[in-house]
Amino acid sequence: MAFPDLVPTARTYDAGDFPVKVFKSQNGVEHRILYGSNRTNMKLSLTYANIPDANAKLFLDHYQEEQGTFGTFDFMPTGYVKGWESNTSELDAKTFGNKYRYEGPPKVVQVRSGISTVTVNLIGVL
């Protein structure tokens, strides 16, 4: 089962960083060592406001299929997020040799009978 193909109503993105270790000597000089060539820990938060409960269930089903925060998956096979008008290849974890996984379970808030708002937090991992 693929990640639900719905257009989010709100998105936030944190670009992550390269694996770097910082060492400080006794005199305060800072030394940095780069431990990899792939950026990781990208964070993508997606909100789907006022969607039918049947669509909200799609996120819960996908979370179950991925065994919660254990499984990894390709989220944007074509390198874009619908509705985001920019160079969205930056948002595609595959661009940096990563896949996404759930940072935690989807949060579902019932707005009214049959309508919910779902928030999904994803993190890019190697």
Q: CB burial class (10 A; 0-12, 13-18, 19+) of residue 98?
A: buried
Each residue's pLDDT tens digit, 44-83: 899 999 999 999 999 999 999 999 999 998 876 444 455 5
Each residue's pLDDT tens digit, 8-40: 888 888 888 888 999 999 999 999 999 888 888
For the entire predicted model, the pTM comes to 0.78
Q: How do the domains of the chain map onto residue ranges?
A: 10-125
Contact between 116 and 110 (Cβ < 8 Å): yes
